[in-house]
């Protein structure tokens, strides 16, 4: 593995670093960021919280805006943030902000021209963790979280493979992408026009499957929503997530906040709550 370091900054006694590497499942160069807390610098293998960002973001948005490093340093948790899509020359794209580069939706595309590069689910759940656990002082204890499109990504990763993670959380997640315009546009392009093909990538559909699987132990799940979020009713569809969790018996902790919107001001306001939530299980 040829990891090329892009930048390195000391932060709260640990190090925030950005790397570039060749991603085999995406067939392109990818960037990711990692924050290693002070505990990792003394030889201790620390657990990892994987953060998935939203539409138009890169690995930099969360690391620069969320203010998570201070609490991660206290708790001894590494933070790993991938980019939100494949990028580069030859990678399929679209002029709109909600499809193509910056809008990978953390799924594995099956349709041309997207399938050659847009295998983001395999990247964030397999290839990137393998790199992190091989080359950095971390353990195999993992949690996953994200915002908006990244909240959708975190939920589907945890629900598809609950054994890979200790806990899952999300800020303003796109909860029912099969039923909202953002999700329908992306799924039609990446997966094809038949809605049955979308169910594997929809958190509400995945939750409902657990009604018939009582042997599966649910992961702790925390969701944060701002009630002044302009996307709340049409795009996020949190009510559908509540109903799906209730019907399957999956324990969901949902916190709703008056006055908060969809921005990183909202994420920064409650990121400490989420880090402490994950620390209980990591």
pLDDT digits (tens, 9 = 90+) for 190-203: 999 988 899 999 99
C-alpha distance from residue 38 to each of 3, 16, 71, 75 (Å): 22, 11, 11, 10
Out of 53, 85, 145, 148, pick the active-site residue. 148
Strand partners, 46: 138
User: How far is Cα 257 from Cα 265, in angstroms, rounded to an integer?
Assistant: 13
Give yes or no for residue 17 having a pLDDT over 80.
yes
Question: 229 catalytic, yes or no?
Answer: yes
Q: Tell me: the pLDDT tens digits for 254-277? A: 999 999 999 999 999 999 999 999
Question: 42 catalytic, yes or no?
Answer: no
Which residue in 246, 222, 105 sits closest to 167, CA to CA? 222
Asked whether the whole model's pTM tops 0.95, one would answer: yes
Question: 257 catalytic, yes or no?
Answer: no
Q: Tokens 């939706």 correspond to what residue?
A: 105
The superfamily (CATH) of domain 4-281 is: Alpha/Beta hydrolase fold, catalytic domain (3.40.50.1820)
C-alpha distance from residue 201 to each of 19, 107, 164, 186 (Å): 28, 7, 17, 11
Element (H, E) at 120: helix 120-122
| Strand pairing category for 168-171 and 221-226 | parallel
Which residue in 96, 13, 6, 14 sits closest to 56, CA to CA? 96
Q: Tell me: the pLDDT tens digits for 146-164? A: 999 999 999 999 999 989 9
What does the pLDDT average to over 17-42? 97
Out of 53, 145, 229, 278, pick the active-site residue. 229
Give yes or no for residue 211 having a pLDDT over 90.
no
What does the pLDDT average to over 191-217? 87
CA 108 to chain CA centroid, Å, is: 14
The two tokens of residue 214 are 């009582």
Out of 16, 117, 262, 274, pick the active-site residue. 262
C-alpha distance from residue 17 to each of 33, 62, 64, 255 (Å): 6, 13, 12, 32
Give yes or no for residue 235 having a pLDDT over 80.
yes
Q: Tokens 């992190």 correspond to what residue?
A: 132
Residue 184: partners with Cβ closer than 8 Å, 6 or more residues away = 177, 178
| Three-class SS state of 244 | helix
User: How far is Cα 146 from Cα 118, in angstroms, rounded to an integer?
Assistant: 19
Q: What pLDDT score was predicted for residue 94? A: 97
**How many CB atoms within 10 Å of residue 94?**
15
Give residue limits of the domains in the chain: 4-281
Q: Binning pLDDT at 50, 70 and 90, where does residue 213 land?
A: low
Q: What pLDDT score was predicted for residue 223? A: 98
What does the pLDDT average to over 65-93? 97
What does the pLDDT average to over 137-144? 98
Q: Binning pLDDT at 50, 70 and 90, where does residue 1 land?
A: low
């Amino acid at each position: 593995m040829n990891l090329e370091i892009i930048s390195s900054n000391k932060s709260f006694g640990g190090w925030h670093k950005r790397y570039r590497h060749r991603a085999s499942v995406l067939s392109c160069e990818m960037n990711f960021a990692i924050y290693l807390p002070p505990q990792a610098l003394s030889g201790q293998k620390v657990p990892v919280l994987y953060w998935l960002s939203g539409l138009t973001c890169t690995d930099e948005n969360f690391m620069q805006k969320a203010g998570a490093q201070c609490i991660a340093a206290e708790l001894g948790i590494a933070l790993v943030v991938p980019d939100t899509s494949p990028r580069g020359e030859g990678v399929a794209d679209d002029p709109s902000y909600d499809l193509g580069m910056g809008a990978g939706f953390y799924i594995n595309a099956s349709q041309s021209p997207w399938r050659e590069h847009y295998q983001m689910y395999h990247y964030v759940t397999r290839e990137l963790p393998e790199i992190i656990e091989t080359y950095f002082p971390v353990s195999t204890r993992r949690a996953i979280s994200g915002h908006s499109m990244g909240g959708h990504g975190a939920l589907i990763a945890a629900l598809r493979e609950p054994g890979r993670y200790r806990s899952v959380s999300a800020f303003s997640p796109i909860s029912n992408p099969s039923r909202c315009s953002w999700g329908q546009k992306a799924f039609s392009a990446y997966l094809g026009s038949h809605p049955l093909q979308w169910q594997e990538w929809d958190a509400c559909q995945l939750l409902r499957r657990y009604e018939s699987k009582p042997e599966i132990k649910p992961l702790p799940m925390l969701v944060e929503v701002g009630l002044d979020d302009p996307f709340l009713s049409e795009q996020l569809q949190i009510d559908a997530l509540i109903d799906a969790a209730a019907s399957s018996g999956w324990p969901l902790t949902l916190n709703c906040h008056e006055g908060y919107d969809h921005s990183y001001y909202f994420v920064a306001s409650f990121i400490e709550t989420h880090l402490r939530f994950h620390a209980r299980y990591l």
